[in-house]
Structure 1
Amino acid sequence: MSENAAIVARIIEHNTGGQNRATIDRDHIGVIATQHGRFDGDIDDSIAEALAEGYIEKQDGEYVATEKVWDLVPGTART
């Protein structure tokens, strides 16, 4: 998985669930990603890659992270 796709997956995970919204839309992901100092790719390609790898899912036209996203950061887990 590319670094850009991993960044997108973590953005989605960080901004959904818990006390945050249930899902996040593509435009909001794009705004956050472009502000991330290490993101330097195409947002749509990065979302597609994260979807294909199973790190995120599409729900009602928006996105949510899967449990697999925790594999991106060893030693972490959702509490």
Structure 2
Amino acid sequence: MTESATIIARIVEYNTGGKNRETIAREQVGTIAQHHSRFNSDLGTAITEAIENGYLEEQNGELVATERVDELIRGRHYSMG
């Protein structure tokens, strides 16, 4: 998975669940990603890739991280690809 898709999955994970809302709007993810120094991709493409790889899901038009995103947080399954 590309670095940009990994960044998006981590943003969604960090900003949902626990004391935060369970989901996050794409626009809000985009705003956060714009301030990330290593995000240099099209937001839609990165989100689609993260969904296709099973790290994110869409619920009611918003994004939520799957349990699989824990693999990314621990640093596994990361590639510059």
- With normalisation by structure 1, the TM-score equals 0.92
CA offsets 1:29-76 (integer angstroms, 9 cap, x no match): 00000100100000000000000000000000000000100101228x
Q: How many residues align?
A: 75
**Normalized against structure 2, the TM-score is what?**
0.90
What is the root-mean-square deviation in Å for CA atoms of aligned residues? 1.0
What does 1:57-76 correspond to in 2, within 5 Å? 57-74=57-74
Higher relative contact order (CA 8 A, sep 6+): 2
Is residue 2:30 matched to residue 1:15?
no
Deviation at 1:22, TM superposition (A): 1.1
Give ranges in structure 2 of 5+ residues lacking alignment. 76-81
Q: Which runs of 4 or more aligned residues in structure 1 lie more than 4 Å from their structure 2 counterparts after TM superposition?
A: none
1:1-79 equivalences under 5 Å are: 1-74=1-74
